[in-house]
Amino acid sequence: MGTSKSFSDTKKNIPNWGSLSDTITRSCDSSTISTEKKNKILKRYVDVIGGSSKAGRGNSKVAGRSGIRTAKKLGAFFGAFINSGNNFRETLDNLGLSDLKDKSVSDIINHLIEYCSGTASTIDEVAAKEATRKILEELVSSAETIDEMEELLDSKFERETSEDLIIRYFGYYIYEHLDKWFYEKLIKDKNQSDCNNLFRQIKDFIFESLRGVQRVNSLQDIDWSSDGADRLIKNIQQDILTVFE
């Protein structure tokens, strides 16, 4: 949790920022946060980014655009893996990583992060990039070899769909915005233990809430450069934000 740089000062003039900041700050202690308060935090987050319709469709300047762009690339990676017959080496070759000699699991994850997210300079881009890291590490960081990475992905897609994983990506994306905006400042104003307690509960609440998102978007046989793929990802992001609105 936390980053080396605080972004909170850049957001003070955004509508509804004060309400979100106040709720986050008041919740940062050693207690168990009530469901009502966690709902309030996430609702005020959606208010800050402009609402589910605006941010979900990529029309907010605060959040949403980088989430869409990166989720499409992540979907393209998942699609390439499935279309290759779950051949991870072939997938990496198609994504521009053909020389695997001496490449570690960490090297490959970093390559995939760059493929999905590229350079990150704004807070939205940073949140999208860190969310990509989190979902990829969740999927394959326990592997020690490329073959083990393939086995883990193969096993994952036996249990879950690409949409399930994209939804989890967006969960991390929301969490990373809150982390980047508030964590470092709260450590200075409060203490690390209380901050960790707060953000752990926020993270758990986000993913618990996302279990109720309906899986209605088929991501099979999608042309990830098409307008159809763009609409599907926007639909998913808007559906997720609506859960918290």
Q: What is the pLDDT of residues 51-98, one digit of tens each?
A: 999 999 999 999 999 999 999 999 999 999 999 999 999 999 998 888
Nearest to 198 by CA among 33, 80, 47, 56: 33
46 close to 40: Cβ distance less than 8 angstroms: no
Domain count, the chain: 1
Q: How far apart are CA 216 and CA 230, in angstroms?
A: 15
6 close to 184: Cβ distance less than 8 angstroms: yes
Q: Is residue 3 part of a domain?
A: no
Backbone angles phi, psi at 208, to 5 degrees: -65, -40
- How far is CA 75 from each of CA 27, 150, 164, 198, rounded to the nearest angstrom? 35, 17, 11, 31
Residues in Cβ contact with 172 at an 8 Å cutoff, skipping those fewer than 6 apart: 130, 131, 134, 135
Place of tokens 């990039």: 129
Ramachandran assignment for 215, one of left (phi > 0), alpha (psi -120 to 50 degrees), beta (any other):
beta
230 close to 59: Cβ distance less than 8 angstroms: no
Q: How far apart are CA 206 and CA 174, in angstroms?
A: 8
Digit-coded pLDDT (tens) for 171-218: 999 999 999 999 998 998 899 999 999 999 999 999 999 998 888 877
219 close to 166: Cβ distance less than 8 angstroms: yes
**What sign for the dihedral angle of Cα 131, 163, 222, 95?**
positive
Q: Is residue 2 part of a domain?
A: no
The span from the first CA to the last CA of the chain, in angstroms, equals: 24
Q: Is residue 30 part of a domain?
A: yes
Which band of pLDDT confidence, cut at 50, 70 and 90, is reported for residue 5? Answer: very low
Q: Is residue 238 part of a domain?
A: yes
Note down the domain range covering 210. Answer: 8-244
pLDDT at residue 12, rounded to an integer: 61
